[in-house]
Each structure stands twice: as C-alpha cells, then as structure tokens.
Amino acid sequence: MKKISVIFITLLAIFSLVGCGNDETEETTKEQAEEITMEEFEKDIANFNEESNVDIKMDDVELLSNETHFSSTSKAWDVTFNLKDGLTNPEKATSQIASYSINLKGEITGKVTSFEFVQR
C-alpha cells in the first residue's frame, strides 16, 4: 500500500510540474510592442493627414522608449508618442499625441489619439 501511495504521489507531482511548464507561447517584448505601435501610428498619421488640413510630420513626433512600460493591471505594454515641440492640449499641459496598449500576444487592445489638438 505504501508503494502505491509513493508511486501515486510521484506521478501526481510529475503531472503537476508538466502542467505548470512553459506552454511555448512567446510573450511580446517591449521592443516588439514599440515596433507594432510604430506601424499602427504611421497608419493613423497617414489617415489623419489625408482627412485634415493640418499635416503631422513624423519628424515632429517621438516615441520616448523610457516611457514605455508594462501595466500589471491591464497586462499590456503602454506605448506613447509625443510631439517634440509644443503642447497638444494647453489645458492639460501635455505633448502626448497618441497612446497604444499592446497585450502579451502582440495585439493592440487600446488606442487613444489626440491629433485634432495639434496646432501649427
């Protein structure tokens, strides 16, 4: 009876460890999240420039990598783009022009843009 219990506990431990192992899904890194958002941001800027009288130039915008952070609440990378010079919204004293959330699967789960505040 003792042998059966030892074998059973050993098998249970092995199956538990196998179940907790890596499921071989690769999580999105900070750099990958920034690449994904850069592609989406360029599309959003192009769409805005087609529909607006005011063009936003990519040279006027920057992605500050040190501001990219992982949100433990939403389990996503938060990536922001800022204007290099000037404020997008003087009432809020911010230069942020767009913000994206990228989950660990590399999908865009949130997007906020404030292109309409850009004034030249």
Within a domain: 21? no
Q: Give the chain's end-to-end CA distance (angstroms, integer).
A: 83
Domain of 32 in residue numbering reads as 27-117
The domain tally of the chain equals: 1
Beta bridge partners of 78: 69, 101
pLDDT tens digits along 44-80: 999 999 988 888 888 888 888 788 999 999 999 999 9
Instruction: Quote the percentage of the chain above a pLDDT of 90.
Output: 38
Confidence at 117, pLDDT banded by 50, 70, 90: low
Within a domain: 5? no
Within a domain: 60? yes
Look at residues 108, 106, 105, 89 and name the one whose alpha carbon lies nearest to residue 97.
89
What's residue 119's pLDDT? 53
Within a domain: 62? yes
- Say what the pTM is: 0.69
Half-sphere exposure of 102 (CA within 13 A, CB side): 24
Within a domain: 57? yes
pLDDT tens digits along 10-24: 767 776 666 555 455
Within a domain: 99? yes
Within a domain: 58? yes
pLDDT tens digits along 92-107: 546 778 999 999 999 9
| Residue pair 111/64 in contact by the 8 Å Cβ criterion | no
Within a domain: 63? yes
